[in-house]
Chain A
Amino acid sequence: MTALTDDTLPVTPRAMRDEMVVFAVMALLLAAVPFTGVYPFFVMQALCFALLACAFNLLIGYGGLLSFGHAMFMGTAGYCSAHALKVWALPPELGVLVGIAAAFGLSLITGYISIRRQGIYFSMITLALSQLLYFIYLQAPFTHGEDGIQGIPQGRMFGVFDLSKPTVLYYVVLVGFLAGFLLIYRIINSPFGEVLKSIRENEPRAISLGYRTDQYKFLAFVLSGTLAGFAGALKVFVAQNASLTDVHWSMSGEVVLMTLVGGLGTIFGPVVGAFVIIAMQQYLAGFGQWVTVIQGSIFVICVLTFRRGVIGEIAHYFRRSL
């Protein structure tokens, strides 16, 4: 078993400081977006996918588990939030909670099933489970099949923030993203995260040291799935719809691609990767299916020549952990 990342650096105060500086710069840049004239919808969308990719990265980058079905958490949370907002007419904060709860429940079930196998089988199982869910949502009445749930009311978050105003919505999404990001950062640097990394590096040794690795992997799966659900719930307010594309396997593939481009097992990589891929889709939208071809080519190029990803290469160059 070869390790995913060849250079694991110890967590030092300096590394922590570097990461906090980069985080502060990222937060400031993102907070300044509404003043720059950049299309906020694009950035909001990218933020939702960035959070999804970070959640996915928690599993692959730190637990060594490649989930090929992460779209199911985003899609499930999206559908449930959308249903809660539109049909039950719940306020936004409760709508988000419904979505997160749904993703939490789903990750408990799917984690219990998929964690039973490792490596390549784990990937195939998560993919098959997400396809199972896709067909269920295709037939279930509340998802409205091919049409999806449309025209979702945005409402007022906590009764104060009017989400129909783009700038307000932007900051709500940004705060959600940063909160999710910090939570993942905290998990990665916790004792739990350290054990997770040791499982990724050498599972038999972790077992021999007395860790019940299955439980650690299960918890990582549930955390990752729930956070992916949070991203999906946020996305409902941005896109104002929930549709089958969010549960399709191609979406799961895109999440993998974002993380791979940014750098597996890096803290900031998934964010960079999400912005790169979403921007690419935006600019190449007119090229039809060539976008798929380009995405496939990026996969091939990344795997063959660029396995560390953008942030991974930078971190490697400066011998820092980012």
Chain B
Amino acid sequence: MQALYAQLLVGLINGSFYALLSLGLAVIFGMLNIINFAHGALYMMGAFVAYFLLNLGGINYWWALLLAPIIVGIFGMILERTMLQWLTGLDHLYGLLLTFGIALIVQGVFQNYFGSSGLPYAIPDQLKGGMNLGFMFLPVYRGWVVIFSLVVCLATWFLIEKTRLGAYLRAATENPTLVRAFGINVPRMITLTYGLGVGLAALAGVLSAPINQVRPLMGADLIIVVFAVVVIGGMGSIMGSIITGFALGVIEGLTKYFYPEASNTVVFVLMVLVLLVKPTGLTGRAA
């Protein structure tokens, strides 16, 4: 049973990353109509920024948790201002191709300097060790990742669904021209939205750094799984992205316990099943 709980925990952690990343993809898609292929690369950048902050600037994990998303978010906003904004009105696929190119550039540059091996990032002192829950041994850091991700996901949901700013955002998603007529600076909102989505990816990167090590290709394969998550859950609903992300992480964890050979493929297989049964995705509208 210990092993089952351990795999469930791993599943929850992966689920946190799926949720944070698919959430960002959904928010960005809503405003920019772009599937951000660079999301995985920016997630990786988040981890690297945390690594640089610690090893070059002596800035600890807690500050990295705040600073890395901001730094990567600014980088993302520069990308949006200099490149992505020129794609408005073009076919969706150009956004995919452009961000794929950006992902190749970012990953290639990091691979040149850091190869393909992983760099260690120590767990902060406050979160070291573990506690015995009676039925299992819980490493504190892993528990922290799950709870913190959940809080961030719910905060993002709250921001978008319940605040005035979120209302502008949702309105601009539906009809940007009309929202502009009300005197709201939609292009700036688009830039900030991209920054927010990218910041969430970078935050996931920082959280994963002590668990998965810091590697240039850490986001490359992850983003494809997240795409499958997005296909399953649909991008229409924020809460849908969060729930699908966590649920698929848990299913993957259970697969690792019961049938490890399929743990890499289970999300893709589920995607196929969902497409066969309900082609629009679990929460999605037809697209």
Q: Which residues of B contact A121 (CB under 8 A)?
A: 231, 287
Does A113 belong to the interface (CB within 8 Å)?
yes
Does A117 belong to the interface (CB within 8 Å)?
yes
Smallest Cβ-Cβ distance to A118: which chain B residue:
B287
Contact of A295 among B91, B96, B98, B104 (CB under 8 A): B104
Does B151 belong to the interface (CB within 8 Å)?
no
Contact of B231 among A125, A298, A300 (CB under 8 A): A125
User: A292 and B107: CB pair below 8 A?
Assistant: yes
Does B192 belong to the interface (CB within 8 Å)?
no
User: A117 and B287: CB pair below 8 A?
Assistant: yes
User: A290 and B92: CB pair below 8 A?
Assistant: no
Interface membership of chain B positions 93-114, coded 1 if the CB is closer than 8 angstroms to chain A and 0 otherwise: 1101110111111111101100
Q: Which residues of A contact B29 (CB under 8 A)?
A: 120
User: B108 and A117: CB pair below 8 A?
Assistant: no
Q: Which residues of B contact A138 (CB under 8 A)?
A: 264
Contact of A296 among B86, B104, B225 (CB under 8 A): B104
**Segment of B48-56, B117-125, B241-249, B270-278 in the binding face:** B270-278
Bound Cα distance A105, B90 (Å): 34
**Segment of A13-21, A49-57, A128-136, A222-230 in the binding face:** A128-136
User: B89 and A2: CB pair below 8 A?
Assistant: yes
Contact of A290 among B98, B100, B108, B276 (CB under 8 A): B108
Say whether chain B's binding surface is mostly helix, strand, loop, or mixed: helix
User: B272 and A131: CB pair below 8 A?
Assistant: no
Smallest Cβ-Cβ distance to A307: which chain B residue:
B94
Contact of A299 among B91, B92, B101, B231 (CB under 8 A): B101
Q: Which residues of A contact B87 (CB under 8 A)?
A: 303
Say whether chain A's binding surface is mostly helix, strand, loop, or mixed: helix
Does A204 belong to the interface (CB within 8 Å)?
no
Interface size class of A (residues with CB under 8 A): 35 or more
Smallest Cβ-Cβ distance to A123: which chain B residue:
B96
Interface membership of chain A positions 172-214, coded 1 if the CB is closer than 8 angstroms to chain B and 0 otherwise: 0000000000000000000000000000000000000000000
Q: For window 279-320 of chain A, which residues contact chain B by CB distance below 8 Å?
A: 288-293, 295-300, 302-304, 307
Q: For window 230-287 of chain B, which residues contact chain A by CB distance below 8 Å?
A: 230-231, 261, 264-265, 268-269, 271-272, 275-276, 279-280, 287
Interface membership of chain B positions 199-211, coded 1 if the CB is closer than 8 angstroms to chain A and 0 otherwise: 0000000000000
Closest CB-CB distance, A130 to chain B, in whole Å? 9
User: B100 and A299: CB pair below 8 A?
Assistant: yes
Closest CB-CB distance, B261 to chain A, in whole Å? 6
User: A296 and B275: CB pair below 8 A?
Assistant: no
Q: For window 128-160 of chain A, which residues contact chain B by CB distance below 8 Å?
A: 128-129, 131-132, 135-136, 138-139
Bound Cα distance A124, B26 (Å): 14
Closest CB-CB distance, B270 to chain A, in whole Å? 10
Contact of A132 among B93, B102, B268, B275 (CB under 8 A): B268
Bound Cα distance A293, B101 (Å): 8
Contact of A1 among B91, B220, B268, B276 (CB under 8 A): B91
Interface membership of chain B positions 65-96, coded 1 if the CB is closer than 8 angstroms to chain A and 0 otherwise: 00000000000000000010011011111101
Contact of A117 among B89, B100, B279 (CB under 8 A): B279
User: A304 and B98: CB pair below 8 A?
Assistant: yes
User: B228 and A128: CB pair below 8 A?
Assistant: yes
Does A253 belong to the interface (CB within 8 Å)?
yes
Bound Cα distance A168, B260 (Å): 47
User: A303 and B97: CB pair below 8 A?
Assistant: yes
Contact of A116 among B108, B221, B225, B275 (CB under 8 A): B275
User: B98 and A299: CB pair below 8 A?
Assistant: yes
Bound Cα distance A120, B94 (Å): 10
Smallest Cβ-Cβ distance to B112: which chain A residue:
A289
Closest CB-CB distance, B283 to chain A, in whole Å? 14
Does B13 belong to the interface (CB within 8 Å)?
no
Q: Which residues of B contact A275 (CB under 8 A)?
A: none
21 contacts between A and B (CB under 8 A): A1-B91, A66-B93, A66-B96, A113-B276, A114-B275, A116-B275, A117-B280, A119-B92, A123-B35, A124-B228, A125-B231, A128-B271, A131-B221, A132-B268, A292-B105, A298-B101, A299-B101, A300-B98, A300-B101, A300-B105, A303-B97
Known: A114-B275, A253-B104. 18 other contacts (CB 8 A): A60-B93, A66-B93, A113-B272, A120-B35, A120-B92, A124-B227, A125-B231, A128-B228, A129-B272, A131-B225, A132-B272, A135-B264, A135-B265, A136-B265, A139-B261, A295-B101, A296-B103, A299-B98
* A-B CB proximity, top 10 nearest: A299-B101, A296-B104, A292-B108, A296-B105, A293-B108, A132-B268, A116-B279, A124-B227, A128-B228, A300-B101
